[in-house]
Protein backbone atom coordinates (compact mmCIF):
# COMPACT_ATOMS: atom_id res chain seq x y z
CA UNK A 1 0.00 0.00 0.00
CA UNK A 2 1.47 3.38 -0.93
CA UNK A 3 1.82 6.21 1.61
CA UNK A 4 -1.06 8.27 0.18
CA UNK A 5 -3.52 5.43 0.44
CA UNK A 6 -2.25 4.56 3.91
CA UNK A 7 -2.96 8.09 5.15
CA UNK A 8 -6.35 8.27 3.47
CA UNK A 9 -7.51 4.91 4.86
CA UNK A 10 -6.06 5.25 8.35
CA UNK A 11 -8.94 6.81 10.30
CA UNK A 12 -12.01 4.60 10.57
CA UNK A 13 -14.10 6.63 13.01
CA UNK A 14 -14.01 9.47 15.52
CA UNK A 15 -16.11 9.72 18.66
CA UNK A 16 -16.42 12.55 21.20
CA UNK A 17 -15.24 11.76 24.73
CA UNK A 18 -18.11 13.65 26.31
CA UNK A 19 -18.61 11.55 29.42
CA UNK A 20 -17.34 8.59 31.39
CA UNK A 21 -16.52 5.90 30.69
CA UNK A 22 -14.99 6.41 27.27
CA UNK A 23 -16.34 4.20 24.46
CA UNK A 24 -14.25 1.08 23.87
CA UNK A 25 -14.01 -1.75 21.37
CA UNK A 26 -13.36 -5.48 21.84
CA UNK A 27 -11.27 -6.74 23.67
CA UNK A 28 -11.63 -3.72 25.99
CA UNK A 29 -14.79 -3.24 28.04
CA UNK A 30 -14.27 0.06 29.84
CA UNK A 31 -11.87 2.98 30.04
CA UNK A 32 -12.09 5.92 32.40
CA UNK A 33 -9.76 8.84 33.07
CA UNK A 34 -9.87 10.12 36.65
CA UNK A 35 -8.27 13.55 37.05
CA UNK A 36 -9.02 15.06 40.45
CA UNK A 37 -7.46 18.17 41.95
CA UNK A 38 -7.76 17.03 45.55
CA UNK A 39 -7.03 19.68 48.19
CA UNK A 40 -4.87 19.30 51.29
CA UNK A 41 -5.83 16.48 53.61
CA UNK A 42 -7.49 16.62 57.02
CA UNK A 43 -5.03 14.34 58.86
CA UNK A 44 -7.35 11.36 58.38
CA UNK A 45 -6.61 10.91 54.64
CA UNK A 46 -9.77 12.77 53.64
CA UNK A 47 -10.12 16.32 52.22
CA UNK A 48 -9.80 19.25 54.60
CA UNK A 49 -12.68 21.25 53.03
CA UNK A 50 -16.22 20.53 54.15
CA UNK A 51 -18.08 17.68 52.44
CA UNK A 52 -21.43 19.36 53.03
CA UNK A 53 -23.66 19.32 49.97
CA UNK A 54 -21.95 16.36 48.33
CA UNK A 55 -23.88 13.19 47.61
CA UNK A 56 -21.64 11.01 49.74
CA UNK A 57 -21.53 7.41 48.60
CA UNK A 58 -22.08 8.49 45.01
CA UNK A 59 -20.26 11.79 44.52
CA UNK A 60 -19.28 12.04 40.85
CA UNK A 61 -20.20 15.69 40.27
CA UNK A 62 -16.67 17.11 40.26
CA UNK A 63 -17.49 20.03 42.55
CA UNK A 64 -14.36 22.20 42.95
CA UNK A 65 -12.52 19.86 40.57
CA UNK A 66 -12.63 16.69 42.67
CA UNK A 67 -14.90 13.81 43.57
CA UNK A 68 -15.40 11.54 46.57
CA UNK A 69 -16.69 8.71 44.34
CA UNK A 70 -18.10 6.09 46.77
CA UNK A 71 -15.90 7.13 49.69
CA UNK A 72 -17.51 8.63 52.79
CA UNK A 73 -14.38 10.27 54.25
CA UNK A 74 -11.49 9.09 52.07
CA UNK A 75 -12.13 9.42 48.31
CA UNK A 76 -12.23 6.21 46.32
CA UNK A 77 -14.02 2.93 45.85
CA UNK A 78 -14.60 0.82 48.99
CA UNK A 79 -14.84 -2.96 48.69
CA UNK A 80 -16.66 -4.26 45.61
CA UNK A 81 -16.56 -7.54 43.65
CA UNK A 82 -15.41 -8.41 40.12
CA UNK A 83 -15.63 -11.54 38.00
CA UNK A 84 -14.74 -12.47 34.43
CA UNK A 85 -12.34 -9.70 33.33
CA UNK A 86 -9.22 -7.74 34.30
CA UNK A 87 -8.59 -4.24 35.60
CA UNK A 88 -5.49 -2.34 34.51
CA UNK A 89 -4.93 0.79 36.62
CA UNK A 90 -2.21 3.19 35.46
CA UNK A 91 -1.50 6.09 37.82
CA UNK A 92 0.22 9.22 36.52
CA UNK A 93 -0.01 11.34 39.70
CA UNK A 94 -1.02 10.65 43.28
CA UNK A 95 -1.46 7.33 45.07
CA UNK A 96 -3.94 4.48 45.38
CA UNK A 97 -4.27 2.18 48.39
CA UNK A 98 -5.35 -1.31 47.33
CA UNK A 99 -6.70 -4.14 49.48
CA UNK A 100 -8.43 -7.34 48.36
CA UNK A 101 -10.07 -10.59 49.40
CA UNK A 102 -6.87 -12.53 48.67
CA UNK A 103 -5.21 -10.62 51.49
CA UNK A 104 -3.06 -8.66 49.03
CA UNK A 105 -2.41 -4.97 49.61
CA UNK A 106 -0.50 -2.19 47.91
CA UNK A 107 0.18 1.52 47.79
CA UNK A 108 1.12 2.57 44.28
CA UNK A 109 1.32 5.67 42.10
CA UNK A 110 3.61 8.01 40.15
CA UNK A 111 3.80 5.89 37.02
CA UNK A 112 2.97 2.49 38.55
CA UNK A 113 0.36 0.14 37.09
CA UNK A 114 -1.68 -2.48 38.89
CA UNK A 115 -2.92 -5.38 36.74
CA UNK A 116 -5.58 -7.50 38.42
CA UNK A 117 -7.16 -10.63 36.93
CA UNK A 118 -10.55 -11.01 38.62
CA UNK A 119 -11.15 -14.43 37.05
CA UNK A 120 -13.62 -16.50 39.06
CA UNK A 121 -14.00 -13.71 41.56
CA UNK A 122 -12.25 -11.17 43.75
CA UNK A 123 -13.30 -8.33 46.03
CA UNK A 124 -11.07 -5.27 46.26
CA UNK A 125 -11.04 -1.67 47.35
CA UNK A 126 -9.25 1.27 45.71
CA UNK A 127 -8.92 4.27 48.00
CA UNK A 128 -7.26 7.59 47.24
CA UNK A 129 -5.69 8.75 50.53
CA UNK A 130 -4.78 12.42 50.73
CA UNK A 131 -1.36 11.99 52.29
CA UNK A 132 -0.35 15.65 52.42
CA UNK A 133 -2.00 18.02 54.85
CA UNK A 134 0.17 20.99 53.83
CA UNK A 135 -0.38 20.95 50.05
CA UNK A 136 -2.82 19.75 47.38
CA UNK A 137 -3.04 16.03 46.55
CA UNK A 138 -3.74 15.80 42.79
CA UNK A 139 -4.62 12.36 41.42
CA UNK A 140 -4.63 11.29 37.78
CA UNK A 141 -5.17 7.73 36.66
CA UNK A 142 -6.62 5.56 33.93
CA UNK A 143 -8.59 2.43 34.70
CA UNK A 144 -9.06 0.01 31.83
CA UNK A 145 -11.14 -3.17 31.83
CA UNK A 146 -9.79 -5.90 29.57
CA UNK A 147 -12.10 -8.80 28.81
CA UNK A 148 -11.18 -12.45 29.34
CA UNK A 149 -12.03 -15.20 26.85
CA UNK A 150 -14.54 -17.85 27.95
CA UNK A 151 -11.86 -20.37 28.87
CA UNK A 152 -10.22 -17.89 31.27
CA UNK A 153 -13.23 -16.26 32.90
CA UNK A 154 -13.06 -18.60 35.91
CA UNK A 155 -9.26 -18.57 36.19
CA UNK A 156 -7.72 -18.06 39.61
CA UNK A 157 -7.56 -14.37 40.58
CA UNK A 158 -4.12 -12.84 40.09
CA UNK A 159 -2.70 -9.64 41.57
CA UNK A 160 0.37 -8.05 39.98
CA UNK A 161 2.23 -4.76 40.05
CA UNK A 162 4.11 -3.13 37.18
CA UNK A 163 6.29 -0.63 39.02
CA UNK A 164 7.29 2.57 37.24
CA UNK A 165 10.95 1.61 37.53
CA UNK A 166 10.26 -1.46 35.35
CA UNK A 167 7.93 0.12 32.79
CA UNK A 168 9.76 1.43 29.70
CA UNK A 169 9.42 5.10 28.82
CA UNK A 170 10.72 5.59 25.28
CA UNK A 171 11.91 9.09 24.36
CA UNK A 172 11.51 9.88 20.68
CA UNK A 173 12.69 12.85 18.60
CA UNK A 174 11.31 13.78 15.23
CA UNK A 175 13.25 15.31 12.32
CA UNK A 176 13.03 18.73 13.98
CA UNK A 177 14.26 17.50 17.36
CA UNK A 178 10.88 17.75 19.05
CA UNK A 179 10.36 15.16 21.75
CA UNK A 180 7.78 12.61 22.69
CA UNK A 181 7.58 10.21 25.63
CA UNK A 182 5.92 6.85 25.13
CA UNK A 183 5.05 4.93 28.30
CA UNK A 184 4.79 1.24 27.46
CA UNK A 185 2.33 -0.52 29.78
CA UNK A 186 1.59 -3.48 27.50
CA UNK A 187 3.04 -4.46 24.13
CA UNK A 188 6.53 -3.53 23.00
CA UNK A 189 7.66 -0.25 21.38
CA UNK A 190 10.88 -0.21 19.37
CA UNK A 191 12.10 -3.30 21.21
CA UNK A 192 11.22 -1.94 24.66
CA UNK A 193 8.89 -4.41 26.41
CA UNK A 194 7.20 -3.95 29.80
CA UNK A 195 6.89 -6.68 32.44
CA UNK A 196 4.60 -9.53 31.32
CA UNK A 197 0.86 -9.39 32.00
CA UNK A 198 -0.81 -11.98 34.26
CA UNK A 199 -0.68 -15.54 32.90
CA UNK A 200 -4.38 -15.92 32.08
CA UNK A 201 -4.71 -12.49 30.46
CA UNK A 202 -5.73 -12.09 26.83
CA UNK A 203 -2.64 -9.87 26.70
CA UNK A 204 -0.45 -12.88 27.55
CA UNK A 205 -1.15 -14.32 24.09
CA UNK A 206 1.29 -13.03 21.52
CA UNK A 207 -1.25 -13.30 18.71
CA UNK A 208 -3.69 -11.05 20.62
CA UNK A 209 -1.28 -8.09 20.11
CA UNK A 210 -2.63 -6.24 23.14
CA UNK A 211 -0.89 -2.90 23.65
CA UNK A 212 -1.47 -0.02 26.06
CA UNK A 213 0.69 3.03 25.39
CA UNK A 214 0.59 6.57 26.72
CA UNK A 215 1.88 9.28 24.35
CA UNK A 216 3.08 12.62 25.71
CA UNK A 217 4.09 14.77 22.72
CA UNK A 218 5.49 18.27 23.10
CA UNK A 219 4.24 21.09 20.86
CA UNK A 220 4.60 20.18 17.20
CA UNK A 221 6.28 16.83 17.89
CA UNK A 222 5.58 13.90 15.56
CA UNK A 223 5.73 10.16 16.18
CA UNK A 224 4.44 7.30 14.06
CA UNK A 225 2.86 4.33 15.77
CA UNK A 226 4.17 1.15 14.17
CA UNK A 227 1.73 -1.13 12.40
CA UNK A 228 0.38 -4.17 14.19
CA UNK A 229 0.97 -7.54 12.64
CA UNK A 230 -2.60 -8.39 11.65
CA UNK A 231 -5.48 -6.49 10.08
CA UNK A 232 -7.95 -7.96 12.63
CA UNK A 233 -6.34 -5.96 15.44
CA UNK A 234 -8.37 -3.01 16.77
CA UNK A 235 -6.69 0.27 17.75
CA UNK A 236 -8.11 3.41 19.38
CA UNK A 237 -6.27 6.67 20.15
CA UNK A 238 -7.87 8.71 22.94
CA UNK A 239 -6.74 12.33 22.54
CA UNK A 240 -7.70 13.75 25.92
CA UNK A 241 -5.53 16.88 26.12
CA UNK A 242 -4.25 19.26 23.45
CA UNK A 243 -4.74 18.73 19.73
CA UNK A 244 -3.16 16.57 17.05
CA UNK A 245 -3.16 15.55 13.42
CA UNK A 246 -3.68 11.79 13.24
CA UNK A 247 -3.08 10.70 9.68
CA UNK A 248 -5.25 13.04 7.60
CA UNK A 249 -7.53 14.06 10.50
CA UNK A 250 -7.11 17.17 12.64
CA UNK A 251 -8.64 16.43 16.04
CA UNK A 252 -9.08 18.32 19.28
CA UNK A 253 -9.42 17.04 22.82
CA UNK A 254 -11.52 15.19 23.85
CA UNK A 255 -11.80 12.78 20.91
CA UNK A 256 -11.43 9.06 20.41
CA UNK A 257 -9.99 8.11 17.03
CA UNK A 258 -10.42 4.56 15.74
CA UNK A 259 -7.62 3.80 13.30
CA UNK A 260 -6.50 0.88 11.23
CA UNK A 261 -3.88 -1.07 13.16
CA UNK A 262 -2.22 -2.79 10.20
CA UNK A 263 -0.70 0.44 8.85
CA UNK A 264 1.55 2.99 10.60
CA UNK A 265 -0.31 5.82 12.34
CA UNK A 266 1.49 9.20 12.21
CA UNK A 267 0.59 11.57 15.05
CA UNK A 268 1.67 15.23 15.16
CA UNK A 269 0.89 17.33 18.23
CA UNK A 270 -0.65 20.77 18.00
CA UNK A 271 0.68 24.03 19.41
CA UNK A 272 -0.01 22.99 23.02
CA UNK A 273 1.23 19.44 22.70
CA UNK A 274 -0.88 16.30 22.93
CA UNK A 275 -1.70 13.66 25.52
CA UNK A 276 -2.96 10.39 24.05
CA UNK A 277 -3.86 6.99 25.47
CA UNK A 278 -3.69 4.14 22.94
CA UNK A 279 -5.53 0.83 23.39
CA UNK A 280 -4.96 -2.01 20.95
CA UNK A 281 -5.81 -5.69 20.73
CA UNK A 282 -7.23 -8.46 18.63
CA UNK A 283 -10.95 -8.79 19.42
CA UNK A 284 -11.98 -11.80 21.49
CA UNK A 285 -15.13 -12.05 19.39
CA UNK A 286 -17.35 -13.78 21.96
CA UNK A 287 -20.74 -12.80 23.41
CA UNK A 288 -20.63 -10.40 26.34
CA UNK A 289 -23.14 -10.55 29.17
CA UNK A 290 -22.51 -7.84 31.76
CA UNK A 291 -24.19 -6.71 34.92
CA UNK A 292 -22.19 -4.14 36.84
CA UNK A 293 -18.95 -5.73 38.05
CA UNK A 294 -19.58 -9.15 36.49
CA UNK A 295 -18.74 -9.85 32.84
CA UNK A 296 -19.46 -13.28 31.42
CA UNK A 297 -20.64 -14.75 28.10
CA UNK A 298 -24.22 -15.77 28.95
CA UNK A 299 -26.94 -14.35 31.18
CA UNK A 300 -27.18 -17.51 33.28
CA UNK A 301 -23.48 -17.06 34.11
CA UNK A 302 -24.28 -13.63 35.55
CA UNK A 303 -26.90 -15.25 37.78
CA UNK A 304 -24.32 -17.82 38.86
CA UNK A 305 -21.84 -15.03 39.65
CA UNK A 306 -24.32 -13.35 41.99
CA UNK A 307 -25.15 -16.68 43.62
CA UNK A 308 -21.47 -17.49 44.12
CA UNK A 309 -20.77 -14.05 45.55
CA UNK A 310 -23.67 -14.32 48.01
CA UNK A 311 -22.51 -17.78 49.06
CA UNK A 312 -18.72 -17.31 49.27
CA UNK A 313 -18.02 -13.58 49.23
CA UNK A 314 -15.27 -14.51 46.74
CA UNK A 315 -13.08 -15.49 49.65
CA UNK A 316 -14.45 -13.06 52.22
CA UNK A 317 -13.16 -9.66 53.33
CA UNK A 318 -10.17 -9.90 55.70
CA UNK A 319 -10.00 -6.16 56.46
CA UNK A 320 -11.41 -4.26 59.44
CA UNK A 321 -13.26 -1.75 57.26
CA UNK A 322 -14.75 -1.56 53.77
CA UNK A 323 -12.33 1.22 52.82
CA UNK A 324 -8.91 0.42 54.32
CA UNK A 325 -5.99 2.78 53.88
CA UNK A 326 -2.39 2.11 54.78
CA UNK A 327 -0.17 3.91 57.28
CA UNK A 328 0.64 7.55 56.64
CA UNK A 329 4.39 7.01 56.50
CA UNK A 330 4.27 3.90 54.36
CA UNK A 331 5.85 4.24 50.94
CA UNK A 332 4.93 2.43 47.76
CA UNK A 333 4.75 -1.28 48.46
CA UNK A 334 2.91 -4.48 47.64
CA UNK A 335 2.05 -7.40 49.87
CA UNK A 336 1.04 -10.39 47.79
CA UNK A 337 -1.44 -13.10 48.70
CA UNK A 338 1.39 -15.50 49.56
CA UNK A 339 2.75 -13.02 52.12
CA UNK A 340 5.75 -11.82 50.12
CA UNK A 341 6.33 -8.08 50.22
CA UNK A 342 7.93 -5.52 47.94
CA UNK A 343 9.01 -2.13 49.31
CA UNK A 344 9.58 0.06 46.30
CA UNK A 345 10.06 3.69 47.29
CA UNK A 346 8.85 6.40 49.65
CA UNK A 347 5.30 7.54 49.10
CA UNK A 348 5.31 9.81 46.03
CA UNK A 349 4.75 13.47 46.77
CA UNK A 350 1.67 15.15 45.39
CA UNK A 351 2.18 17.24 42.28
Q: What is the pLDDT of residues 60-85, one digit of tens each?
A: 999 999 999 999 999 999 999 999 99
pTM summary value: 0.95
pLDDT in tens, 27-72: 999 999 999 999 999 999 999 999 999 999 999 999 999 999 999 9
Question: How many whole angstroms separate alpha carbon 289 and alpha carbon 119?
Answer: 15
DSSP code of residue 327:
-
If pLDDT is split at 50, 70 and 90, which confidence band does 2 have? very low
pLDDT in tens, 158-211: 999 999 999 999 999 999 999 999 999 999 999 999 999 999 999 999 999 999
pLDDT in tens, 265-311: 999 999 999 999 999 999 999 999 999 999 999 999 999 999 999 99
- Looking at residue 14, its pLDDT comes to 96
Q: Has residue 1 got a pLDDT over 60?
A: no
Q: CA-CA distances (angstroms) from residue 148 to 27, 155, 204, 213, 291?
A: 8, 9, 11, 20, 15
- Looking at residue 64, its pLDDT comes to 97
Q: Has residue 5 got a pLDDT over 90?
A: no
Q: Rounded to the nearest 5 degrees, what angle is found at the Cα of 43, between the Cα atoms of 38 and 48?
A: 40
202 and 84 in contact (C-beta within 8 Å)?
A: no
Q: CA-CA distances (angstroms) from residue 198 to 20, 115, 285?
A: 27, 7, 21
Q: Has residue 334 got a pLDDT over 70?
A: yes
- Looking at residue 9, its pLDDT comes to 87
User: Which of residues 116 and 18 earns the better pLDDT score?
Assistant: 116
Question: How many whole angstroms separate alpha carbon 80 and alpha carbon 42?
Answer: 25
How many residues are listed for the chain in this entry?
A: 351
Question: Residues near 22 by Cβ (< 8 Å), separated by ≥ 6?
Answer: 31, 32, 33, 238, 256
Amino acid sequence: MDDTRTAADLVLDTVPLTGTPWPTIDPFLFCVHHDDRYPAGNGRFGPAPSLAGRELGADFAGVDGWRMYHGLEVPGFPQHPHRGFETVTYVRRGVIDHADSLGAAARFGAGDTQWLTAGRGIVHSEMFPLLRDDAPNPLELFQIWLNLPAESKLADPYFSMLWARDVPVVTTRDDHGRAGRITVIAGAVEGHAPPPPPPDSWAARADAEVAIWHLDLEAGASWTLPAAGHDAVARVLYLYEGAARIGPADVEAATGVVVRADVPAPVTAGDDGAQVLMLQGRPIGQPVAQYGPFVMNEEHEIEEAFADYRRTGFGGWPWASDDPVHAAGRGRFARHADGTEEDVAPAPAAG
